[in-house]
Chain A
Amino acid sequence: MRAVIAEDSVLLRIGLVRVLETAGFDVVAEVGDAEAVLTAVEEHRPGLVVLDVRMPPGFTDEGVRAALVIRKQWPDTAVLLLSQYVEERYAADLLSGDTRGVGYLLKERVADVEEFIDALRRVASGGTALDPQVVSQLLLRRHSDPLDRLTPREREVLELMAGGRSNAGIAAALFVSESAVAKHINSILSKLDLPKADADHRRVLAVLRFLGVG
């Protein structure tokens, strides 16, 4: 699959290219600002775009804005945003439309190469990858009783589930068995009054909606 990278730090760009190539992506363009990434997407029509949030000229949320444009103009292109800090506001913007093929992760997650490659593949194939920090920021704002009824372990599972992981992924992250994860998920869904869904993506959607985004 063709991929485009937009990252203004040259050092990190080199690392990202290597990681994406390791994952089997074909990096067709690397750019350093938000305007150039739109041109590159127009030209190459990649399946995946990896964007830094803070880029020239304003160094605030250029990446988020570019991602929104990409999602609107080329809905089939998956978008993964990387940032030094994740902000729930940007996540809300990003998830306000379709939540398929969207990712928003801390830059430091790239260092856990194997997990990051999982996230890349998930997003590229239409899944979701939200940083656990985004999900816990969203949880900060929800003061509803059902959330208070969750056990700490169930909250962890909820964060990973909202982040877009499959049962197997959650099990691997928490070092528990898949059947234990399935049990936790059933308990969470019933405590939060969410419909049971088998497909990972529909489940993510339900959780995100519960958290007030998507």
Chain B
Amino acid sequence: MRNPLVLRTLLKPFDGAGRAAAFLTAGALVQVAALLVLAVPWLNGGPTRALSVVVAVLVPLALLALASPVLTVVQGARFRGRLGVDIPRPVEVGGATRAERAKRWLRSPTAWRQVQYHLFVGPLIALAGTLTLLAWAAAAVAATVYIWIWALPVEVRVEDIGYTTHAAYVTVAGIAGLYGAAWLSRALARLDTRAALTRLGPSREELLRLRVAEVTESRAGVVDAADAERRRIERDLHDGAQQRLVSLAVNLGLAKATMKDLPEDARKVIDEAHREAKEAITELSNLVRGLHPAVLEDRGLDAALSGIAERAPLPVRLKVDLASRPAPTVEAVAYFVVSEALANVVKHAQASRADVTVERFGGILLVVVSDDGVGGADPSGGTGLAGLAKRVASVDGTFSISSPTGGPTVVTVELPCAP
């Protein structure tokens, strides 16, 4: 059904006004119930002695503060149900026992922001809301004054009311009042919403803290997932391609060893294939070794690093001093750091030797990889160092590199690890 344009324009100010009025009505009811608690000691004339007056004020206040989470939930339901506005839940206080939780709650700024709403803002708006509801009623009566004149018998009617100019004025005032009440209802609903969002929901600071906690958690999840993925790839290659290649090389080796009477050409081909297969094994092994070796999980960083240091085609001195094992994620990152840094040394440094030290100082795992090469390494240039820095940052570690032209290059990585 489509209203004619004129009617729609006339009725537009009333859009949502009904919802707002219903919302204000619900608010007034909630507030009356809440404030009744405060009024209990005063119902029978109230206490007279100073001390009991203080008690009569403080006890209901404390009760209100303690009960404010419940009131907040009720208000949240009102906002959601009547206006469709979602008030985010405030940050919960932790605590093992009920008493501890109550204590922490009463000390939290959240509690007092909520009490502010339930005690001052809420009641004021509820009062204004009640007046607005009365204004609705009065305006409705005034606007329909002609109907009253028509419907009511003359005997019960107020004397001077009749089909007069006066009644026309009343009608106009009533219609204006309806527009005013609609505007007021929506304005109050907006005001209430704003007050509730700032006082019943989490504060900006809390929201940020919450967000940071969420982001930290999800980042840790991503880092763990990437580690798990590396392990899976390592496992797949170990069980698949690596075994196949070894088996191929063994078969070629067997052919070489047992078929002595082959023609020279055939022997040459087998020799070549055998050599290639062994080279492929070495290349693949070096690649897979950089991923996430089983020994890292099994025996820790110290044990895993000797394999990678040994594989480097230059002499590496390894010094690992760890009293206990760091977290698996930290171990994996430290392993990756050494693996990547050594790969960089081999590729770019033209070094004659490298030194790797891994030590723990309290809550810090310090990894230093240095070489006596030509220096000039640029972390913004090569993808190797950039990837290394990113992986270190993913666990809140710090990465620094000193590589003056002419060397030496020192890569220093600090990783946080609980002592």
Interface residues of B (CB under 8 A from A): 235, 238-239, 242-244, 246-247, 249-254, 256-258, 274, 277-278, 281-282, 285, 288-289, 293-295, 297-299, 303-304, 306-307, 309-311, 316-319
Contacts and interface: CB of A to CB of B under 8 A. Distances in A.
Interface string A117-149: 100000000000000010011001101000000
A136 B310 contact: yes
Nearest to B257: A113
Contact of A60 (B243, B282, B294, B309): B294
8 contacts: A12-B246, A15-B254, A22-B258, A60-B297, A85-B293, A89-B299, A108-B246, A116-B253
Nearest to B282: A108
A16 B253 CA distance: 11
A114 interface: yes
A59 B310 contact: no
B253 A22 contact: no
Interface of A: 9, 11-12, 14-16, 18-19, 22, 54, 59-61, 84-90, 107-108, 110-114, 116-117, 133, 136-137, 140-141, 143
Given A85-B307, A111-B278, A59 B250 contact: no
Contacts, number: 108
B278 A108 contact: yes
A80 to B, nearest CB: 15
Contact of B295 (A16, A85, A113): A85
For the residues of B in contact with A, the DSSP-based class is helix
A114 B299 CA distance: 33
B246 A61 contact: no
Contacts of B289: 85
Contacts of A140: 306, 309-310, 316-318
B317 to A, nearest CB: 6
A143 B297 CA distance: 27
Nearest to B245: A108
**6 tightest CB-CB pairs across the interface, nearest first?**
A111-B249, A15-B250, A113-B257, A11-B247, A9-B243, A113-B253
B250 A113 contact: yes
A138 to B, nearest CB: 8
A106 to B, nearest CB: 8
Given A9-B247, A61-B294, 11 more contacts: A12-B247, A15-B250, A19-B253, A85-B307, A88-B307, A89-B306, A111-B274, A112-B253, A113-B256, A133-B311, A140-B310
Contact of A89 (B249, B303, B311): B303
A15 B282 contact: no
A61 B306 contact: no
Given A11-B247, A108-B249, A54 B317 contact: no
A110 B253 contact: yes
Nearest to B309: A140
B257 A85 contact: no
A84 B254 contact: no
Nearest to A133: B310
A15 B247 contact: yes
A183 to B, nearest CB: 24
B246 to A, nearest CB: 5
Contacts of A113: 250, 253-254, 256-257
Contacts of B251: 15
Nearest to A111: B249
A143 B288 CA distance: 28
Contact of A87 (B244, B249, B299): B299
B306 A88 contact: yes
Contact of A111 (B238, B277, B303, B310): B277
Contacts of B249: 108, 110-111
B250 A110 contact: yes
Contacts of B239: 9
Contacts of B299: 61, 87, 89
A55 B244 CA distance: 16
A87 B303 contact: yes
B294 A54 contact: yes
Contacts of B277: 111
A198 B132 CA distance: 111
Contact of B252 (A60, A111, A133): A111
Contact of A12 (B235, B243, B298, B319): B243
A11 B285 contact: no
B203 to A, nearest CB: 49
Contacts of A133: 310-311
Contacts of A87: 295, 299, 303-304, 306-307
Which interface residue of B250, B278, B285 has the most chain A CB atoms within 10 A? B250
B257 A11 contact: no
A141 B316 CA distance: 10
A16 B251 CA distance: 9
Contacts of A60: 294-295, 297-298
Given A84-B242, A87-B295, A113-B256, A16 B250 contact: yes
